[in-house]
Amino acid sequence: QITLKESGPTLVKPTQTLTLTCTFSGFSLSTSGVGVGWIRQPPGKALEWLALIYWDDDKRYSPSLKSRLTITKDTSKNQVVLTMTNMDPVDTATYYCAHTPRGSGARFDYWGQGTLVTVSS
């Protein structure tokens, strides 16, 4: 079965760079049509999409955060890494990674449990 799990720091200081890793099993990012996305949710607020990467290394970013985000994949390790620069307290949120089929719009059919990242000095 498909599983995903996010890992990374729980606390980062303002201006620092956040690096989150999504480790998955049950599928391969070298398989045609497969993608992994990152979505975040500030406490008590709505979901916000951040980035997507597909099996062919096609990458998509949220326009409002594009300058701060980088998404990469390591197919051999079954991992996707998201980096976000210049962290600010407003970036405090639970960060989720999720599996998505290519061309499916906002269809995220398997999600990780999420990891809460707090930005504070």
Partner 1 sequence: QSVLTQPPSLSAAPGQRVTISCSGSSSNIGNNYVSWYQQLPGTAPKLLIYDNGKRPSGIPDRFSGSKSGTSATLGITGLQTGDEADYYCGTWDSSLRTVVFGGGTKLTVL
How far apart are CB 107 and partner 1 at their closest, in Å? Answer: 4
Least Å from the CB of residue 88 to partner 1: 19
**60 versus 79: smaller Cβ distance to partner 1:** 60
In this structure, are residues 49 and 64 in contact, taking their beta carbons and an 8 Å threshold? no
Residue with the two structure tokens 């960060």: 95
Q: Which amino acid is at 89?
A: P
Which residue lies nearer to partner 1 by CB, 1 or 76? 1
The token pair at 121 is 């000095």
Structure tokens at 4: 């995903």
Q: Are strands 34-41 and 93-101 parallel, antiparallel or unpaired?
A: antiparallel
Instruction: Kindly state the smallest distance separating residue 90's Cβ from partner 1, in Å.
Output: 15
Give whichever of 9 and 60 is closer to partner 1, judged by the CB atom. 60
User: Which positions touch partner 1 (CB under 8 A)?
Assistant: 37, 39, 46-49, 52, 60, 62-63, 96, 104-114
DSSP code string of 11-33: EE-TTPPEEEEEEEESS-TTSTT
Pick the closer one to partner 1 by CB: 55 or 108. Answer: 108
Minimum separation from the CB atom of position 36 to partner 1 (A): 13
